[in-house]
Chains A and B, each alone.
Chain A
Amino acid sequence: KNEVEQSPQNLTAQEGEFITINCSYSVGISALHWLQQHPGGGIVSLFMLSSGKKKHGRLIATINIQEKHSSLHITASHPRDSAVYICAVSSYGGSQGNLIFGKGTKLSVKP
């Protein structure tokens, strides 16, 4: 069993829909990261969080430490949100760059 599990693996949505991507992990963590990888390949860090909720524009990330679960929400989705979204965790006591990655969720938003 992978230490970081994401669901769904693939997601197709219509423009404007509310989107949720889930991440569960099985190790003790110091922080959880949501990353975005566009078709061109570059990786951008969206959020780093260790508790509660963070919001940036149309993106919201939440984490429940007790349940070892995080969600990434996209409100009013747009075709430019099409990308692979990757959940990663920094294990407790480790460096924030010493990440354990999920397999990613490929999101396609249709106009």
Chain B
Amino acid sequence: DAGVIQSPRHEVTEMGQEVTLRCKPISGHNSLFWYRQTMMRGLELLIYFNNNVPIDDSGMPEDRFSAKMPNASFSTLKIQPSEPRDSAVYFCASSLQENTEAFFGQGTRLTVV
């Protein structure tokens, strides 16, 4: 398996623009997680899905952030409108079940100017 695939790897956008990050989990994995990493706060969980259903979105910072998982093989994290403080590396991870080890994608480095 190719592992968790994220796209794009790098994204530079202007403040106010909509940004969409994409994730393809490992085939057969039932849980999917979105994390954000910044220098100031380190790694933080934003939201996670189990069987395509959002379970915990308490880490989503604001209404500008939304995440969807329309099917078992695809998820998106959208920021609208984007702000410079959203600049970070966004990681997606998946696991076979809720209580098994998570595998991380390579991350998307987002820069909002």
Query: Given A30-B99, A101-B44, are A95 and B50 neighbors across the interface (CB < 8 Å)?
Result: yes
Min Cβ gap B105→A in Å is 8
Q: Interface residue count for B (Cβ, 8 Å)?
A: 26
Query: Which one of B33, B89, B106, B109 lies within 8 Å of A97 (CB-CB)?
Result: B33
Closest Cβ neighbor of B31 among chain A residues: A97
Q: In the complex, which residue of chain B has the Cβ closest to the Cβ of A102?
A: B42
Contact residues on A (Cβ < 8 Å of other chain), bracket = 20 to 34
Q: Does A74 contact B (CB under 8 A)?
A: no
What would 25 A/B residue contacts be, using CB atoms closer than 8 Å? Answer: A40-B106, A41-B89, A41-B109, A42-B107, A44-B104, A45-B103, A45-B104, A86-B42, A86-B43, A95-B33, A95-B48, A95-B50, A95-B55, A96-B95, A96-B98, A96-B100, A97-B48, A97-B93, A97-B95, A97-B98, A98-B33, A98-B48, A99-B43, A99-B45, A104-B42
The tally of CB-CB contacts under 8 A between chains A and B is 63
Please give 4 more A-B residue pairs, beta carbons under 8 A apart, in addition to A43-B107, A98-B48: A41-B107, A43-B104, A48-B101, A97-B102
Q: Which residue of A lies closest to B9 (CB)?
A: A41
Contacts of B93 in A (CB 8 A): 43, 97
Contact in complex: A42, B33 (CB < 8 Å): no
Most buried by B among A45, A86, A98: A98
With both beta carbons as reference points, the residue of chain B lying nearest to A31 in the complex is identified as: B99
